[in-house]
Structure 1
Amino acid sequence: MAFTELTRVIDALGKDRGIGREVVIEALEQAMLMAARKKLGPTAELEAHWNEELGEVEIFQFKKVVESDDKIADDDREIALDEARKLDEDAKLGDELGIRMEGVTFGRIDAQTARQIIIQKVRDAERDIIYKEFIGRKGQIISGIARRLERGNLMVDLGRTEAVLPRSGIIPTESYKPGDRVQALLQEVGESTRGPQLVLSRTSPQYLIKLFEMEVPEVSEGVVEIRLCVREPGERAKIAVYSNDRDVDPVGACVGMRGIRVQNVVQELRGEKIDIIPWNEDVTVFIRSALAPAEISMVRVIPATHTLEIVVEDDQLSLAIGRKGQNVRLASQLVGWKVDILSKSKLETRTKAAIANLKNIDGLNDTLAQSIYQCGFLNVLDLSRQPVETLARIPGFDNEGAATELKRKAEATVQKIGIEAASGKLPDPIPVPAAAPETVTTGVVSDNGENG
């Protein structure tokens, strides 16, 4: 591209790529300036300016005005006073005179260098424009077209740029081929030398929340809040909803008439089942809803270990736990407490065994043993390892002296009957199966120490 052609592309570049005209002009000025420096030498003081009237870049060489030719130490940086006044009659000693360079010609290499500079500047400007566009859309749902797979990650065409939908962001039950439409949450927007790095997700709990915002006007308007959301993508999710209007049922609003609203979300998530649960600040009420459809007989709150002990009828146990522990696992994540589940028959057996074990401590009667058990301590060994401050929270031992004496007696009992006997042999509760679904919290669940 010859330099005479460079001026013609300014408007075209600005129009075609959405780049400000001033950015293209600045790139052109820098390109011309670099080429001129190669021509005139590194010591020359040069400036380049776009002349709108002439439609070209003008190059000026700046020289300091000195008294005469014999005072010039550097021809590239100094000019005699008499020569300066031929260019500007008002010139005086010490002035910096800008001399317009006439007839400067550039070779093929210079033109290529200038072109590379312009192209790089334009690319930088494009990257900046794209970054600013998408940083404002972070956390929103966007759509694109699937293009190709790279190391298991799906590259998605968004028009002006590409985004990556990593394998971890793809629902396990779905697959894509080139040309498929892709809808996802814009989860991350980063910067790099190659351009904005856009990361999408269809497995994020936030994506599910955004889908409900699209489907449920009450959610998008803030009448109904989705305060918590947990997912095992493609299989099951639980959301906790709350209404800021007494006349609006938050669960009903999200379900929709004949279930149409929630079904639209389920369809987008490839059949993922969604439990919609009313949020409650009382954790004993909240966990009952979170474990539905299982019927809960009793909830015991153990603040010391941040545990909820759930008791169910024997025929409700498998329902409360769910397939592969999914129901109790998601419920635990939703309420933010450790959840242990016991059937009534196991609870009775464990209670008797625990009381009997605790009564090995000298002077401990049924009432005190029951009080200790209700605080979550199931055996002498566990009790002996607790700090005095923790034991002082037990009714009947709620002062430092009594708590210290209880700890001393528990330790003495362990020494007397041995560690194995002191640890007891109790039926284990059903633990929450290991898995950590990602959780989104949009509100605060208050810890509530009341027993249900």
Structure 2
Amino acid sequence: MARIELLQVADAVAREKGIERELVLEAMEQAITHAGKRKYGQEHDIRTDIDRETGEIKLMRYLEVAEEIENEATQIPISEAQERNPAAQVGDYLADPLPPIDFGRIAAQTAKQVIVQKVREAERARQYEEYKDRVQEIANGLVKRTEYGGLTVDLGRAEAVIRREDLLPRESFRNGDRVRAYIYDVRREPRGPQIFMSRTHPNFMSKLFAQEVPEIYDSIIEIDAVARDPGSRAKIAVHSNDSSIDPVGACVGMRGSRVQAVVGELQGEKIDIIQWSPDPAAFIVNALAPAEVTKVVLDEESKRIEVVVPDEQLSLAIGRRGQNVRLASNLTGWDIDILTEAEESERRQEEFHSRSEMFMEALDVDDVIAHLLVTEGFSTVDEVAYAPIDELAAIEGFEEELASELATRAAAHVEATNRALNERRLELGVSDEVAAIEGLDPAILVALGENEIKTLDDLGDLAGDELIEILGDLAPSIEEANAVIMMARAHWFGDEEPVDGAEADEAAEAAAEEHERANV
């Protein structure tokens, strides 16, 4: 091959594969070096240099100058080296030119394979570097082939994969069709970079809205959450950083033009655009639209909310096959329980009746006094026992003498109950050390004993969520559970003070592992 043709080939390959010309020339040098070693011996240090301007190929054998010869193929004595070059020193290299290689059929094929492999590696590296920074972007491509329900998409300078689960239901493409999807992952793998795209990812909808709504692109309106049932229905929560701009109206557009553009791309997927609110109750009420909500009760510790709707709104709030409430739950991050007004009223009456009976039995009072206590918000005997006398006396129909008597009876009942629970705790064999831990009342101690948690080590071996599961209705919050477990593990640390607060979980895990190793 003429020298100038060699450089022309390198330029052509670089342009076609989208890689640097230098990488192609380096691949050619490696191929010629490989052929040289096959001819002159693999043990020799043979190197190739292609002149970047003229295309001249220099094939050289390098010899290292050494005091003592360990490998005659790659080393030369310093005495002999100085005869050839008086300035040679130990550690220097002498280069002997080798005659050009006459490539035979096998050598040429081998060189071609080396060049192809190196060029392919360079192309893969270029693709990965180019697309790893395009994660979370929308890309357009042409369907190259379909297999196993998924697609291989030609992006121009790379290929991407859309798996079957990342396509909308009932959506079909043929070879040559244009497809638009969201790049959610780019991985470096031995067979080359793998680019994964999706049309069902929630962020695909977010990016489509950003393309259709200039206010989102300019960050005047922000998308806070997206929940999708791909191909069927979706909810998107938005808020505006400019009080003069309605975020919902801006996303809908004139006569629904903006939202319809997104709906069209998503094969008719219905989209509810919802006003986001920092108040969880208001946000959840908005998320359940179009259903109307009459009452909400939040449990912030467990992130669970109870929603009451009119009887005729129940099916609308739940949605077909639970779709509306499921999407609202995914959108807000809260577990949502839906009750009708009739169900809520019936449950409230049952609670009122059961609490009244509990007070009648525990305090030996008639139903009128019990009803008054429940109406005033008292739910346990302990609350009555520890309530200030003047607070009880302030209940309409109560006098100070009656309030004092109720407090006395409640305190006596609590004391008797605790005494019975303590006796039961001792029967179960729960140690006094466990009973001394702050935050464990007699009822919890009995529950621990019934679950074979009797010593500090038994309690310390638990994780916070395991303790909560064992205690059920008696369970504290996860933070309190972790604090109890850390107190049980205090003796594992010796004289060290156990950590608390945000580090409790990490320290608890480390201590448990150390304890387990010690037992082994």
Which AA in structure 2 matches 1:287? I
Alpha carbons of 1:24 and 1:341: their partners in 2 closer, same or farther (altered >3 Å)?
same
**Counterpart secondary structure, 1:196:** strand
Does structure 1 retain, via aligned residues, the 8 Å contact 2:78–2:88?
no
2:15 alignment counterpart? 15
- Partner SS state of residue 365, structure 1: helix
Tell me the amino acid that sits aligned with residue 211 of structure 1.
Answer: L
Q: Which residue of the other structure, out of 314, 317, 334, is the alignment partner of 2:314?
A: 317
Distance 1:57 1:337, change over 3 A: same
Matched, 1:264 2:280: no
Question: Counterpart amino acid of 1:25?
Answer: L
* Cα separation, 2, equivalents of 1:103 and 1:313: 92
Check conservation: 1:186, 1:199, Cα contact below 8 A: yes
The code of the aligned residue for 2:76 comes to E
| Alpha-carbon contact 2:66-2:75 (below 8 Å) kept | no
Query: After superposition, where does 1:133-144 map in structure 2 within 5 Å?
Result: 133-144=130-141
Among 75, 78, 81, which residue is 2:76 paired with? 78
- Identify the residue that residue 224 of structure 1 maps to in structure 2: 221
Shift of 1:369: 4.0
Query: CA offsets, 1:148-183, max 9 Å, x none?
Result: 321221222222332111111111132212222111
Residue type at the aligned position of 2:371: D
Q: How many residues align?
A: 386
The alpha-carbon distance between structure 1 residues 239 and 91, as it changes in their structure 2 partners (threshold 3 A), is same
Give the C-alpha shift of residue 108 in structure 1.
Answer: 2.4
1:151 to 144, 148, 151: 148
* Aligned-partner SS, 1:174: coil
Deviation of the 1:74 alpha carbon: 3.1
- 8 Å CA contact 1:65, 1:84 repeated in 2: no
Give the Cα–Cα distance (whole angstroms) in 2 for the partners of residues 66 and 354 of structure 1.
96
Q: Counterparts of 1:219-298 in structure 2 under 5 Å?
A: 219-298=216-295
> Greater RCO between the two (CA within 8 Å, min separation 6)?
1
| Partner SS state of residue 191, structure 1 | strand
Which segments of 5 or more consecutive residues in structure 1 lack a partner in the other structure? Answer: 375-382, 416-452
**What do you get for the CA RMSD once the two structures are aligned?**
3.4
How far apart are the structure 1 equivalents of 2:376 and 2:268?
47
Name the structure 1 match of 2:50.
50
Q: Residue in 2 aligned with 1:171?
A: 168
SS at match of 1:29: helix
Alpha-carbon distance in structure 2 between the residues aligned to 1:151 and 1:265: 27
1:307 to 304, 309, 319: 304
Decide whether the 8 Å contact of 1:234 with 1:272 is kept in 2: yes
* Cα distance in 2 between the residues matched to 1:237 and 1:16: 43
Does the C-alpha gap of structure 1 residues 26 and 278 become closer, same or farther in structure 2, counting only changes over 3 Å?
same
Is it true that 1:365 corresponds to 2:370 in the alignment?
A: yes
3-state SS in 2 of match to 1:329: helix
In the alignment, which residue of structure 2 is the partner of 1:33? 33
1:344 aligns with 2:349: no
Letter in 1 for 2:164: R
TM-score normalized by structure 2? 0.67
Q: Deviations over 1:232-290 (max 9, x none)?
A: 01111111111111111111110111111011111111111111111111112112211
Contact 2:3–2:56 (8 Å) recurs in 1: no
Which of 94, 107, 111 pairs up with 1:110? 107
**Matching residue's letter, 2:309:** V
Deviates more, 1:314-323 or 1:121-130: 314-323
The two structures have a TM-score, normalised by structure 1, of 0.76
Structure 1 CA distance for aligned equivalents of residues 209 and 167 of structure 2: 19
- Structure with the higher helix share, 1 or 2: 2
1:358-402 CA distances to partner (integer Å, 9 max, x unpaired)?
A: 33322393355467799xxxxxxxx99xxx9xxx9xx99xxxx98
